[in-house]
Amino acid sequence: MARTWDRLTLPGKALLILVPLLAVLTAGAVVTIALFGGAIWAVILDHLEIVRLFVAVLALVVIFIPIAFVIIYMEMKVIARMNLRIGPDRVGPWGTLFSVVHGLKFLIKEDFIPTRADAIVFTWAPVVVFATSVMTALVLPFAPGLYGQDFNLGLLYFFAVGGMAVVGLLMGGWASFNKYSLLGGLRAAAQIVSYEIPLTLSVVGLILLAGTMSLNQIVVQQSGGFWDWFVFRQPLAFVIFFIALTAEANRTPFDMTEADQEIVAGFATEYSGMRFAFFFFAEYVNVFIISALTTTLFLGGWNAPIVLPHVEIALDPGAYGIGLLFFVALVPLIGTLVLAAPFYLLRSRTRWWVALIVGFVLFNVVAGGLVFLWAYVSFDVVAGLVWFLGKTFGLVFVFVWMRGTLPRVRIDQLMGFAWKWLLPAALLNLFVTALAVLVVGATTGGGT
């Protein structure tokens, strides 16, 4: 048995462990549900909010994995195109699986802890940074009714929990027992604390206009056309917010905490394997989160730029009776043959089975597009999610664009810009907005 185990590849060993484990867990779950299903369901109903929170956290962790891989692929491909290169094109179609290979590479790398490092703090630092990212996303409204938690102080919660990321970076820098790591951690603390002030002040004017800190209500108040978005009512706040949030996320040109030309890799110098991956996995997740927050506050959230008349397509499959069975059985076959015929008839070198494969793929694309169009028109959640993700990934592209074009600033320029320019600009925007609210309230006879 030992000889057989040694001859197995790494995927073979993983399957040999996971398959029996999953079988045992599945059997245990079935037996547990059969014996205690009623009691479990009663407990779930009694603690529905806790269960909702747990499910939301689990869903966000699962969703963030492919999102991070997509952003990594975007960064490699977009910057390559900007540099007149091809970028990843070998692993998967058009290199789409290259970022997944990066993740697997970190899984099999050696996980090393320096000799004189504080092992406990060194281990927990990346966990704190990643957990902070997941917890901040709980209050983000992705679509109407699609959110983890809706707090009246949701924006305050976001800033409070998001500020804890600096603790994880400080932990990693201090526990590494490395002067470059310590410098990276201190820079992270100075940078995040400094830019937290203009970041928070920049949205106070928006809060004065909205009258709430609930992110759901802020999005609802931007419903209508794009002219109702807060980016047009608070343009200076949007510029300050975007710059400060870029510094908060340690993105170019404010990535001083990992400046390789000065401090090797900063707080992550001594990290390797999965601990290193957690740090930068959290960084790419943060790119999505800050883009989503900007979309929520200034770009209308899930609202479409132009409100179109509501069209509802009602489908009742049960009304078709046995005809539905013939439809499901014949339409895919006929559609595949119709779409395959041009490739087989117009190109003499195309074999019949190749044409059938092409026709089958095209039919699925067309059918999937029609189903998506029906869902977009019929369900507000689908339409809202499409617009929210479209705006968010548009901002993600801007962050990638900035990394490929802007040079890294010096640390003195970084700190001076926060205190000498952004802070006065944020205060000016706050005072002007407050004055405008008072004037409009007095003119219209309102209390504020």
pTM (2 decimals)? 0.81
> What burial class does residue 411 get, using C-beta atoms within 10 Å of its C-beta: 0-12 exposed, 13-18 middle, 19+ buried?
middle
Q: Please check whether residues 346 and 247 belong to one and the same domain.
A: no
The residue ranges of the chain whose pLDDT is under 70 are 1-2, 4-13, 15, 36-41, 43-49, 51-53, 259-261, 265, 309-324, 326, 347-348, 445-448
Rounded (10°) CA dihedral 50, 54, 55, 59? 150
Q: Please check whether residues 427 and 365 belong to one and the same domain.
A: no
User: Which residues 6+ apart lie within 8 Å of 57 measured at CB?
Assistant: 134, 135, 138, 148
Our count of domains for the chain comes to 2
- Given this model, what pLDDT does residue 187 score? 81
User: Which residues 6+ apart lie within 8 Å of 161 measured at CB?
Assistant: 132, 135, 136
- Given this model, what pLDDT does residue 446 score? 57
The answer to whether position 68 is within a domain reads no
The answer to whether position 413 is within a domain reads yes
The answer to whether position 54 is within a domain reads no
Peptide bond into 253 cis (omega under 30): yes
Q: Please check whether residues 177 and 127 belong to one and the same domain.
A: yes
CB 289 within 8 A of CB 133: yes
Q: Please check whether residues 184 and 275 belong to one and the same domain.
A: yes
Token match 């000016």: residue? 428
| Whole-number Å distance between alpha carbons of 61 and 58 | 5
SS3 of residue 146 by DSSP: strand
Q: Please check whether residues 228 and 282 belong to one and the same domain.
A: yes
Q: Please check whether residues 364 and 410 belong to one and the same domain.
A: no
Which phi and psi (to 5°) does residue 143 adopt?
-165, 170
Q: State the maximum Cα–Cα separation within the chain, in Å, rounded to a whole number.
A: 86
CB 16 within 8 A of CB 8: yes
Which phi and psi (to 5°) does residue 155 adopt?
-70, -40
The answer to whether position 121 is within a domain reads yes
The answer to whether position 354 is within a domain reads yes
Q: Which domain holds residue 173?
A: 109-307+380-444
CA distances, 302 to each of 142, 150, 241, 294, 384 (Å): 7, 15, 20, 12, 4
User: Which residues 6+ apart lie within 8 Å of 250 measured at CB?
Assistant: 188, 191, 256, 257, 258, 283
| Whole-number Å distance between alpha carbons of 290 and 189 | 19
The answer to whether position 263 is within a domain reads yes
Q: Please check whether residues 288 and 433 belong to one and the same domain.
A: yes
The residue among 355, 378, 401 that closes a domain is 378
Q: Please check whether residues 293 and 322 belong to one and the same domain.
A: no
The residue among 378, 405, 420 that closes a domain is 378
The answer to whether position 84 is within a domain reads no
Q: Please check whether residues 331 and 214 belong to one and the same domain.
A: no
| Whole-number Å distance between alpha carbons of 44 and 376 | 32
Strands, E assignment, 208-273: none
- Given this model, what pLDDT does residue 40 score? 65
Q: Please check whether residues 210 and 146 belong to one and the same domain.
A: yes
Q: Please check whether residues 295 and 368 belong to one and the same domain.
A: no
Q: Please check whether residues 250 and 145 belong to one and the same domain.
A: yes
Q: Could you say which DSSP state residue 95 is in?
A: G
The residue among 360, 378, 396 that closes a domain is 378
The answer to whether position 39 is within a domain reads no
